[in-house]
Chain A
């Protein structure tokens, strides 16, 4: 158990819909990262927040957005969902001052029908 929690574990929805994935980082960790893992693209970095502010952006679609709240939990919003958005979405957190050691949550499996 990494200490990072993600809800829900599974999500099934239809094309065109909007969903919100939630992540609670480990206690004391200020950074939250979101990754997408699909069969054809592998694990891809989407976005990072640090203490409430966006810090880095990766291959995140415009239909996707994220935020980090004052209590440091983060939400990833996916809208206008397409079949290709079906994937595992992982959240990771890291404490301040560390160099690349990230703690990953168990993931949310999104299925778009």
Chain B
């Protein structure tokens, strides 16, 4: 599995954009990059995933570097509900299996 490096914690003001970085320099060419988040006392929640090009959905945007060794999750306007631990997870599928290997993630605090 590709190793990831994420900041332990970050802070953001409410309604400001947040850029959460992730380094995954050992990622293979076929690994997707997934982002999950875990709100306090809840199970992890899928946020977004991508392979090479940037991706947008209703929750966030994912910017992937051209060399794919890093990616950035962008929350366009942080709300108090976005306070969570964010996990960057490279991974591949194979024969119907897709294990998620969670690291320590980045704990995002949102300041009102």
Contact = CB atoms under 8 A, between A and B. Distances in A.
A35 B45 CA distance: 14
Contact of A48 (B32, B89, B97, B103): B97
Contacts of A106: 42-43
B82 to A, nearest CB: 17
Interface string A29-51: 00101010000001111001010
B107 interface: no
Interface in B35-57: 38, 42-46, 49
B100 interface: yes
User: Chain A: interface residue count, which band?
Assistant: 20 to 34
Contacts of A101: 34, 46, 49
Contact of A99 (B42, B44, B93): B93
Nearest to A90: B43
Is the contact region of chain B dominated by helix, strand, or loop, or is it mixed? Answer: loop
Interface string A79-105: 000000000001010101011111111
User: Chain B: interface residue count, which band?
Assistant: 20 to 34
Contacts of A104: 43-45
A45 B101 contact: yes
B56 to A, nearest CB: 16
A99 B33 CA distance: 10
Given A99-B32, A100-B91, A48 B99 contact: yes
Contact of A2 (B43, B93, B101): B43
A92 B43 contact: yes
A83 B89 CA distance: 29
A25 interface: no
Contacts of A44: 102
A97 to B, nearest CB: 9
B100 A100 contact: yes
8 contacts: A42-B104, A43-B38, A44-B102, A55-B96, A92-B43, A99-B98, A100-B49, A104-B45
Closest 4 CB pairs of A and B: A104-B43, A43-B102, A56-B97, A100-B98
